[in-house]
Each structure stands twice: as C-alpha cells, then as structure tokens.
C-alpha cells in the first residue's frame, strides 16, 4: 500500500462533485498537495471532499463481485477472465492470489479515499480560511465517517488477515492489525466523527454532498448515517447492546420506508460513471452476472424479492457453471447502489433483540416479511431459530448489496453455502495484497 498512498495524485482526489456530476479539477499543478495541507482555501477543501465522494465508487464492481461470488449469490461470467469462476469459487487447485485485481484494485481504491480523508483532516486543522468552528467540526465528522466506512470495506475482504488503520505517513505506516482490533479502531474513528458532527449541530456543511446523501445533507442528519454504520460495526463485533444504542440515534424506523438510506449514485453525464453492477438482460459470457440457483430454490415462491432476478431467454454456461436467471438487482446503468438503508437496520434491530427480547425480534422480522408479501413468521423463537430466520431475510432483502458472505462468516455458517462443482471451496478471507509486504 505504500505505493498506493505515495501516489495519491491530485487527479484522484481533487475533483468536484455537483449532484452526481463529476468535474475534473481545473489545474492539477496548482495548488500543490503540500499547499493544500499547509493552508487550504475553502474551495480546496470542497474539492477534496468532492473527490472523496467520487472516489468512493472506484472499483465498487470488483468489491461486490468478490463478496457476491464467494457468498454464492451470483456467478460473475467473463470469458476473457476465468479468475471470476476459478479463483473466487476455488475451482480445483485454484486459490486466491495476493497480487491479482480482485484484491489489489478494491484495496487500493478504498485506501485512496482514506488518504483523501486524512488530507481533509490535516487541511481543516491548518486552514486560515473563514470557516467557523462548527463548520470545521462538520468537515471532520464527514471525513471520519467516510474513512471508517472505507476501512470497513477492506476489512470485510481480508477479515482475520487484518488491515492497516494508521496510514497517515506513507513512509511510516502503522501495523496490520487483527480483525477485532481493526473493528475496534474503526468504531473509534466513527465515534470521533459522531462527536464532531454533534458539535456541528445547527450548522451546515460548507460543501455539497452528492444526491446519494439526500436526506442526510446536514451535520445532524448525517450523524444518523454515522450511527447506522455504527450499528453495523457493533453487530460485526457481536456487541448487541451497542447495536441497539446506535440504532436509537440513527435513521432506523420500523414503520419507515425500508429503502431510506444513503447510496452510491451514478449518471450518464460526460464526466461521471455508470453503475458497475448493471448488465443488460440476456448478456453473453463476455460479461454477465447469473443467479446462483439456490437463491430461487430456497425461496418462498410468493416472495416479491424474487423480482431481483429475471429468467433468461436461454440458460448461460461457462466453466462448468450454468444459470437460467440474470442477477437484476440494478435495472439500469444509473441505478443507485445502497451504502446502508433502513431495511438492513430493521434486521439489525431483530438481531440485537433475538436473545433477550424475541418478541421484538419477531416484530422486526415481520416488518420485512410483510413488505415482501410474506405472512408473519411462525417458526421457533429460540436464539438459533431466530438467527436462521434473520439470516434468511437478510439473504433476500439485501441480495447483491454485499452482505451474504460476511453474514454467513460471522455466524460460522460458511459451510452451509452451496458448492457448485465438486472441488470448489468457500473462502474465509482474501490475502493481504503483495504490495503491503514491499
């Protein structure tokens, strides 16, 4: 990662994001990165934050393919690159390589955003621009929240192999921490951001947020997004009391719109990017995502969430894998991709209550089931039965949103994921990229 952090070129971080349009910074030679860190203008800080929002989408498709394929949600067919169906699925003797695009590219992309956040934090500390104390806290709260989110995505990939949290000095990087230590430190960064956002209550962000943060565009409302991320992290830690605490100050609602939340947004504007998870229906093996068959065979046939897959005109086969349904969660090349939304929070609420308050857990489960056209849950209310039901609802509600592999792993159920070919493997984690050892 030294190479990635040293090469944090202004071309990556100094772009402006207006709505969902991305514009190149006008002059890449002036101001310099050193000037920006030493005494930035408010315009410089705005450009840095615009760049952070734009860069959050870099290599998202690879990240979602990583977790979706290993989690047996879908196959990623690419006749020009067999690693999607070999390495990711552990075909025969194939293993996960530490110097291949499926780990190096998303890893670098997330750390580029982290580096941008660190630059923003330095810049706001050093600026002499006319920015109020509350506005400075708003900037810090935004940067720390996004930094925590990006670090979590990399930790989702490498799991017990860990990640680096301290990357501020590319010539003196901090250690690679284990999974639990990394989660603790990410949560601390997120909580620091929450304190900053609380201190900025009543102020406005002195920059524009993308359309993906609609409804969360003030420090107070963005704090609710921060707390939602905190609930996710606490669940990963198994800290159920903290899940409830975070949810109570987030945008969680049992009666609210399950789609409410924050999103990555895309557009057809000339300088913007398309949704990398979209493929047209009936695409060929040159590029397609095909439903893993158990998604349909395990489902209740009345489940309205089955609309997330569409039957093909003809089955598609590649590398010994055949599918008859297209993955079609994102129906256009500009469809937004959720960062976190209320449906996940409702199911986190069920998880937080499944041991000590099973009736509350069932109530939350029924909110999700009923929204999908299913009747109330009538199964067991012991903790294991409720975990199984929560995981099942997460499987269908959050299909293709990057959760299945992580969920099955954190409940020690990876051995329950289907094996498509006799010698396939279900991987627990990705290796640390080779560059980390240079």
Q: What is the pLDDT of residues 94-128, one digit of tens each?
A: 999 999 999 999 999 999 999 999 999 999 999 98
Distance separating alpha carbons of residues 113 and 264, to the nearest angstrom: 14
Is residue 373 pLDDT above 70, yes or no? Answer: yes
Tell me: the pLDDT tens digits for 189-218?
999 999 999 999 888 999 999 999 999 999
Q: What is the per-residue pLDDT for 31?
A: 57
* 144-200: pLDDT as tens digits: 999 999 999 999 999 999 999 999 998 899 999 999 999 999 999 999 999 999 999
- Burial letters 369-391, b for 16+ CB under 10 A, else e: bebbebeebeeeeeeeebbbbbb
Q: How confident is the model at residue 342 (pLDDT cuts 50, 70, 90)?
A: very high
CB 324 within 8 A of CB 416: no
Mean pLDDT of 369-395: 98
Are the C-beta atoms of residues 189 and 152 closer than 8 Å to each other?
no
pLDDT band with cut points at 50, 70 and 90 for residue 7: very low
At 42-63, the pLDDT tens digits run 999 999 999 999 999 999 999 9
Percent of the chain with pLDDT over 70: 92
**Average pLDDT, stretch 285-310?**
98
Q: How confident is the model at residue 226 (pLDDT cuts 50, 70, 90)?
A: very high
DSSP-assigned states of every residue in 94-114:
----TTSHHHHHHHHHHHHHH
pLDDT at 34: 74
The mean pLDDT of the chain is 92
Partner residues linked to 163 by β-bridges: 177
Per-residue pLDDT at 9: 38
Q: What percent of the chain has pLDDT over 90?
A: 87
Determine the pLDDT at residue 437.
67
pLDDT at 272 over 60: yes
Q: Does residue 24 register a pLDDT over 70?
A: no
Q: Which helix (H) or strand (E) holds 47?
A: helix 42-55
The SS3 call for residue 242 is: helix
Span 2-270+336-413 CATH architecture: Alpha Horseshoe (1.25)
Per the model's pLDDT, the better-predicted residue between 80 and 34 turns out to be 80
């Amino acid at each position: 990662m030294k190479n990635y952090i040293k090469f944090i070129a202004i071309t990556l971080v100094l772009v402006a994001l207006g709505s969902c349009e991305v514009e190149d910074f006008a002059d890449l030679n002036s101001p310099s990165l050193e000037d920006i860190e030493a005494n930035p203008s408010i315009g410089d800080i705005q450009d840095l934050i615009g760049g952070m929002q734009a860069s959050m989408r870099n290599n998202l498709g690879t990240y979602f393919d990583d977790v979706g394929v290993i989690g047996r949600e879908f196959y990623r067919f690419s006749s020009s690159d067999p690693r999607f169906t070999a390495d990711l699925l552990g075909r025969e003797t194939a293993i996960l390589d530490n110097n291949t695009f499926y780990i190096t590219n998303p890893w670098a992309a997330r750390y580029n955003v982290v580096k941008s956040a660190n630059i923003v934090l330095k810049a706001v500390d050093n600026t002499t621009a006319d920015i109020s104390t509350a506005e400075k806290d708003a900037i810090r709260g935004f940067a720390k929240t996004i930094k925590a989110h990006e670090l979590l995505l990399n930790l989702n990939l490498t799991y017990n192999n860990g990640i680096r949290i301290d990357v501020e000095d590319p010539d003196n990087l901090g250690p690679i921490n284990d999974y639990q230590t990394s989660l603790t430190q990410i949560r601390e960064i997120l909580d620091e951001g929450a304190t900053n956002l609380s201190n900025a209550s009543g102020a406005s962000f002195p920059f524009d947020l993308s359309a993906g943060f609609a409804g969360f565009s003030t420090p107070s409302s963005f704090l609710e997004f921060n707390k939602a991320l905190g609930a996710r992290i606490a669940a990963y830690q198994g800290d159920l009391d903290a899940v409830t605490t975070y949810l109570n100050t987030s945008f969680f609602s049992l009666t609210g719109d399950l789609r409410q939340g924050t999103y990555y947004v895309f557009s057809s504007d000339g300088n913007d990017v398309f949704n990398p998870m979209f493929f047209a229906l009936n695409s060929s093996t040159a590029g397609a995502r095909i439903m893993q068959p158990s998604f349909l065979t395990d489902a209740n046939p009345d489940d309205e969430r089955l609309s997330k897959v569409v039957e093909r005109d003809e089955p598609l086969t590649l590398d010994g894998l055949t599918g008859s349904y297209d993955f079609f969660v994102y129906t256009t090349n500009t469809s937004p991709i959720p960062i976190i939304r209320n449906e996940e929070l409702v199911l986190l609420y069920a998880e937080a209550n499944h041991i000590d308050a099973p009736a509350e857990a069932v109530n939350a489960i029924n909110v999700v089931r009923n929204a999908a056209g299913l009747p109330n849950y009538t199964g067991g209310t012991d903790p294991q039965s409720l975990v199984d039901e929560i995981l099942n609802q997460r499987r269908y509600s959050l299909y293709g949103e990057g959760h299945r592999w992580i969920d099955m792993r954190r409940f020690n159920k990876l051995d329950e994921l289907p094996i498509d070919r006799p010698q396939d493997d279900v991987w627990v984690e990705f290796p640390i990229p080779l560059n980390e050892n240079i």
